Amino acid sequence: MYYLQMQIRWVWLLWAMMVLTGSVRAEADSEQVEEFVITAKREQEHTFEVDRSLHLVSSENLIESQGQSLPESLQESCGVFVQQTNRGGGAPILRGMIGPQNLILIDGIRFNNSSFRTGPNQYLALIDPSSVDRVEILLGPGSVMYGSDALGGVVQVFPVAWPEKMGAGLRGGSRFASPDLSTRVWADGYWQNQDAQLMVGGAFGNFESLRAGQGREQAISDYQNGAWRARARYFLSEHSQLGLTYLGARVRHAGRADRLYEGRYRFYDNDDDFAYLDWNSQFEGHLRQVRMAVSFHRSHERVDGYRCLMDQDPSAIDAVACLAAGDLGKEQMPLAPLHQQQITADTVLSPGALAMVKFGFLDQRLRLTTGVEAYYDQVESDKQQRSGDGELAWQWQDSDRGNFSDGSSYRSLGWYALLDAVIAAGKTQVLILGGGARLSNFAAAADDVPGIGEVSYAHSGIVTMAGIRYLYQDQAMAYANFSQGFRAPNLQETTVLGDTGSKFEVPNADLSPEQSNTLEIGARLNLQSIQAFLSAHVSFLKDVIDERILTENEWRAMGLDLVGIGDKPVVQRVNNLSGLYWGMEASLSAGPWANLRPWLRVAWIRGEIDSADGLTYPARRIPPWMGTLGLRYQNPTEEFYVELFSRFAGPQEKLHPADEQDLRICEDPANRGDSYADSGQRCPGTPGWITLNLRGGVRCGKALRLEISATNLTDKLYRMHGSGVEAPGIGVSLSLMASY
């Protein structure tokens, strides 16, 4: 109760300060009559005309969702399933793909680097929601447009938008959430005239222990984060501008407890700095646009790992004792049951550059976009560890190698061309053909990789896409397309050696790129009272990068021992023969009738892998069918709204062999710390769930805005498939925003 009272007082104090600082001036979000996106073709298009399954998360959506992180803000989007191994992280699963199989962009510039962990990771959560204007989510391969990693899809983030008014101003807000007694506060100050624009801002969040459904407390779920940003833009002429953007983020003490009952837990500290200088010019005539940009991305991750000697059947009390010993061990010699400590630190420096040119011919009926991109990663890595054994008990020892070989490098180059042509046009109908191709080259180098030695490999590939779309006025459209995906193996898959969280990984420098061929058909309907979308897709994968569990004889032959591995599975990334993914996405919105609008979004995906040993099994971490359903009331003047909605997912019993060893999915509740397989039982998978939620918002004039939501009203205890923490229980979130 004390925390609740303090947070409420803080929210109202912020409101009073922002109102009393000066006269409040109206700065409402401009109403978007039409929504445009650029991710599908690197070209501004009306959302209705896009010939892909592409979904926009607008600034309004980000505000109303009140997500604690950017991944959480996307989980109501059609076809996006968000997995969280720990709080402070979050990985979107797009068409069954996760981690580096999906590409993250910031304003068209690559955010992924070669150290991104294969499988669930936390990197999208390093982009603060208050730094974002909108997010565009492309489902399906985007390798022709954006290069490697875009197998499952592309998540493109656009930084916070410039305000419309001239002069100086301030905008900001605060959010309180009861499930974890968390507080977030953010603010931006800006100044602009006809020639230049400046903006600086920041955010801070403090998150206490999470209360899940039925009052279950989540161990080591508290953490802190902070972010800051700066933007500047100078107008060289009416149609030419030079911009500079910097986004920084810090996450501290993000705990991971999915293996706590094994006596293993981790804390993650992440630093991220992303900056780019951008020149953009528009022209009239055949040459329509030129864009050039240089970027720099610094990513630093420190992981503090602890290992405790636990009883055969550990209890919650044993787990707490392990935590207490770990906390003590940060300052002095720890006490039992703590047995080992390890600190790894990886820093990746990634300069990059891109150039893009757009042409238009035949009265803009023929449009050509072409460009080049280049990125380079330099990795610094080290590790320290200590244990309670031997003469040097509890003295820190530097290891010869961290997760990666110090000085490892990775380079990617790409050239692409996209073409759209109107081949038939009438008063009410248009038929458009489109296509494109990309040539990519990747190279990696690492010294002293254990069991391998020097690693040096290079891969090149060509991917293509082609499609056709038919539009009837602004009421109906249908499309069909073919697109190829390409993903080169990264340094994490080819050179990493060590404990990566749920497994102990060993390197494999002989991996080949994984590729996909995807067919997709879809249609949109935009009538006076009905808006609908439906797509179906099938993807044929080749040389799928999967993982194989090694036998004890295999990993002992590599010089590994049980002390370093513990009881985790030892896995190696391998190329399997092929894979097949198929599924659908659909959305429906109706009305408004009496100011009421019902809506529905659903998605379903399946995947199978054909392994080199002749077996066929479900793809890893395939999400269940899922969706959201709601009923919204919006008053005619749009001063307030109320929305009742439900989020739901079906059961997932189709599991990859590695899923059955994963405690995030298959921990035996009767034997905590063991999987069902360890107990000699079949894993039942993840049960289905459904939640009931309510939210609303009100504008006080045009400079103040209040958002409130009540989530998981039935206090359902559930977990997103593959996640390491339970979802929040019943709770209330309150956001207050102001501008002047």
pLDDT tens-digit map of 220-275? 899 999 999 999 999 999 999 999 999 999 999 999 988 888 888 899 999 999 99
Res. 24 pLDDT band, cuts 50 70 90: very low
**Span 704-714, average pLDDT:** 97
Looking at residue 327, what is its pLDDT?
Answer: 67
Looking at residue 198, what is its pLDDT?
Answer: 97
What percent of the chain is helix, strand and coil (3-state, nearest 5)?
10, 55, 35
pLDDT digits 0-9 by tens, 512-535: 999 999 999 999 999 989 999 999
Residue with tokens 């499930």: 179
Closest to 295 measured CA to CA, from 278, 276, 280, 279: 276
Residue 155 structure tokens: 């998540």
Cα distance between residue 298 and residue 249, in whole Å: 11
Looking at residue 444, what is its pLDDT?
Answer: 96
CB 491 within 8 A of CB 115: yes
Looking at residue 330, what is its pLDDT?
Answer: 60
Backbone angles phi, psi at 498, to 5 degrees: 145, -175
CB 711 within 8 A of CB 731: yes
Residue 10 has pLDDT above 50, yes or no: no
* DSSP state at residue 434: E
Residue 8 has pLDDT above 80, yes or no: no
Looking at residue 653, what is its pLDDT?
Answer: 95
| Architecture, CATH, for domain 2-389+397-651+686-739 | Beta Barrel (2.40)
Looking at residue 328, what is its pLDDT?
Answer: 61
Mapped onto helix, strand or coil, the DSSP state of residue 518 is: strand
Cα distance between residue 303 and residue 342, in whole Å: 8
557: Cα separation from own chain's centroid: 37
Residue 386's CB is within 10 A of a number of other CB atoms, namely 18
CB 695 within 8 A of CB 707: yes
Torsion of CA 103, 490, 269, 398, to 10 degrees: -170
Q: In the chain, count H helices and then E strands.
A: 9, 35
pTM for the model stands at: 0.93
Boundaries of every domain in the chain: 2-389+397-651+686-739
**Residue, of 315 and 91, whose pLDDT is higher:** 91
* DSSP state at residue 8: H
Q: What are the distances in angstroms from CA 339 to CA 172, 300, 384?
A: 46, 27, 15
Q: What is the mean pLDDT of the chain?
A: 90
Looking at residue 470, what is its pLDDT?
Answer: 97
Residue 636's CB is within 10 A of a number of other CB atoms, namely 7
Looking at residue 184, what is its pLDDT?
Answer: 96
Residue type, 572: Q
Looking at residue 563, what is its pLDDT?
Answer: 64
Looking at residue 425, what is its pLDDT?
Answer: 92
DSSP secondary structure string for all residues of 406-427: TT-EEEEEEEEEEEEEEEEE-S
Cα distance between residue 433 and residue 52, in whole Å: 13
In this structure, the chain runs to a length of 740
CB 219 within 8 A of CB 257: yes
599: Cα separation from own chain's centroid: 25
Cα distance between residue 198 and residue 179, in whole Å: 37
Looking at residue 335, what is its pLDDT?
Answer: 67
Mapped onto helix, strand or coil, the DSSP state of residue 9 is: helix
Looking at residue 589, what is its pLDDT?
Answer: 96
- 477's CB contacts (< 8 A; 6+ apart) are 48, 49, 51, 469, 470, 471, 523, 524
Alpha helices of 439-518 — where are they, by DSSP H?
A: 491-495
Cα distance between residue 204 and residue 226, in whole Å: 4
First to last CA, the chain: 33
Pairing of strands 504-506, 570-590: parallel
Residue 7 has pLDDT above 60, yes or no: no
**Span 185-195, average pLDDT:** 95
Radius of gyration of the chain (CA): 26
Residue 412 has pLDDT above 50, yes or no: yes
Residue 29 has pLDDT above 70, yes or no: no
Q: What are the distances in angstroms from CA 540 to CA 119, 480, 516?
A: 20, 16, 5
Three-state SS string over 62-106 comes to HHHHCCCCHHHHCCCCCCEEEECCCCCCCEEEECCECHHHEEEEE
Side-chain half-sphere exposure of 594, counting CA atoms within 13 A:
1
User: Which of 17-26, 607-616, 629-638, 671-680 comes out lowest in average pLDDT?
Assistant: 17-26
Cα distance between residue 729 and residue 180, in whole Å: 10
Cα distance between residue 65 and residue 73, in whole Å: 6
- Return the percentage of the chain with pLDDT > 70, whole number: 92
- 386's CB contacts (< 8 A; 6+ apart) are 340, 341, 392, 393, 394, 395, 396, 397
